Amino acid sequence: MSVNKVILVGNVGKDPEVRYLEKNVAVANFTLATTERGYTTQSGIQVPDRTEWHNIVAWRGLAEVAEKYIKKGTQIYVEGKLQTRQWEKEGVKRYTTEIYADTIQLLGKKPDSTESTGAVAAPPADALQAPPPAEDDLPF
């Protein structure tokens, strides 16, 4: 048995870059920053904040939702799996590790749709995750 699962909560580092491939399949790429807060040890040594940057990849409907609702600075919850790719550039092997998103939830305040900023109201939470089980599936 093995498990490949990642759960992240952080802020989007740049607007998603969305491409449409064959048969109109959408793929979105963006970065997500997660920050581990700094602290002071008992001996008075200060440990600074530590920020990690993650490359997020969303496919199909999730990519289309990302294109509409996710912008730089948006706080989101991402659930997915780690995947590493390799390629060769000028004879040198290169690697990148990405999070392939299965679920994305928008966090924080919803934009006020009455403002004149052109902001789009966030979708309902269930638009970004799997539908709930049918009533017949309940265990009681």
Summarised one tens digit per residue, pLDDT across range 104-123 is 999 976 655 444 333 444 45
Percent of the chain with pLDDT over 70: 77
Does residue 123 belong to any structural domain of this protein?
Answer: yes
Are 96 and 83 in contact, with CB atoms under 8 Å apart? no
Given a cut of 70, is residue 99 above it in pLDDT?
A: yes
Number of domains in the chain: 1
Does residue 14 belong to any structural domain of this protein?
Answer: yes
CATH number of the domain to which 14 belongs: 2.40.50.140
* Spatial distance between the Cα atoms of 84 and 96, rounded to a whole number of angstroms: 6
pTM greater than 0.85 (yes/no): no
Does residue 122 belong to any structural domain of this protein?
Answer: yes
Average pLDDT over every residue of 79-104: 94
pLDDT digits over 38-76, tens only?
999 999 999 999 999 999 999 999 999 999 999 999 999
Does residue 69 belong to any structural domain of this protein?
Answer: yes
Does residue 1 belong to any structural domain of this protein?
Answer: no
Are 82 and 99 in contact, with CB atoms under 8 Å apart? yes
Q: What range does the domain containing 81 cover? A: 6-39+47-137
Does residue 54 belong to any structural domain of this protein?
Answer: yes
